[in-house]
Amino acid sequence: DFLLTAAAIGILYKENASISGAEVGCQGEVGVACSMAAGALCAAVQATLGIPVITAMSEENPGADLHREALFIVDSGVNAARMRDVLVKMTNLAKKLVAKEAVGPPSEEGYLRRGLLRDQRVDNRAATRLVDMLMAKLKDQPFESEMLPTSFPRIPMPSAVKDLSKAKVMLITDGGLVPKGNPDRIAGTAATRWGAYNIKGLDDLRGEEYEVSHGGYDTRFVQDDPDRLVPLDAMRDMETRGVIGKLHDEFLSTCGRSNPLSNTRRLGREMAEKVKREGVDAVILTST
């Protein structure tokens, strides 16, 4: 249905704009990959054809985080109940972009914030606007900040390990170390997967047996000696000396480069579930 809608509007505007079907969810690994691919396709169409592309995604969609600066992305919500309203907003945006009319702010037009700062003439200087917002807040009156504050949920501090000499410890890295051939096909950018790799009976990681799937740093030093990223040799020494009770027989790995928060949260939850199932007491997370 959405493809037909896009085709019809494309004909209506003589291919001066493109509307891509709305996405209302991205469940599981396949859903995440599809949403990111859809965003990349829209960005490619816009860049190649030189026409504006409008799509719709939910705020939690990884594709939205990756492409919101390049595209106008209408907020689709988390289910299809609002689809009629979403399509109306997409069409209105298309009309304005084709006519080269000024597009209003996200709160008026219904698209996701793009993270762009634009010059605009206003009547009051910044100090006056700041005091006005402060007074409105103190009086419990409505106001809108000119900056979108970044907020993250509070993560409770875990209890300390009571006796490290009896603890089971696991190594995890977001530096992209994988066995030769990258069996889990972990991407070097915006990875949607992670892998668990056996180190039972090993005291050292050899470069010829591993590779690095990460496009964000010079990997030559890790390729030369993977223990620089996943310190198996040092952990075996601590295990032998009784500093830790046991090193888990697998290490977990993914690539943390250019990954939207919604995706990294999912990867983190999945890894945490693995940690709990394996009865691990502490994790050493290495990064780049």
pLDDT in tens, 38-74: 777 777 777 777 888 888 887 777 677 777 778 888 8
Domain final position from 89, 109, 129: 109
pLDDT in tens, 105-129: 888 888 888 877 777 788 899 999 9
- Residues 141-160 have a mean pLDDT of 83
149 lies in some domain: no
Structure tokens at 40: 């990349």
Contact 18, 6 (CB under 8 A): yes
Expressed as residue numbers, the domain containing 188 is: 164-286
65 lies in some domain: yes
- Residues 206-210 have a mean pLDDT of 97
Q: What is the pLDDT of residue 20?
A: 67
Mean predicted lDDT score pLDDT of the chain: 85
Contact 244, 235 (CB under 8 A): yes
Q: What is the pLDDT of residue 264?
A: 87
Q: Measure the CA angle with vertex 221, ends 219 and 225; round to 5°.
A: 115
154 lies in some domain: no
Please report which confidence band the pLDDT of residue 34 belongs to, taking 50, 70 and 90 as the band edges: low
Residues 82 and 174 in one domain: no
State the Cα–Cα distance between residues 80 and 202, nearest whole angstrom.
51
Domain final position from 63, 89, 109: 109
169 lies in some domain: yes
159 lies in some domain: no
Contact 83, 90 (CB under 8 A): no
Contact 257, 177 (CB under 8 A): no
- Residues 26-39 have a mean pLDDT of 60
Residues 90 and 173 in one domain: no
State the Cα–Cα distance between residues 259 and 245, nearest whole angstrom.
34
Domain final position from 75, 109, 143: 109
The Cβ of residue 16 has, within 10 Å, a number of other Cβ atoms equal to: 15
Q: What's the domain count of the chain?
A: 2
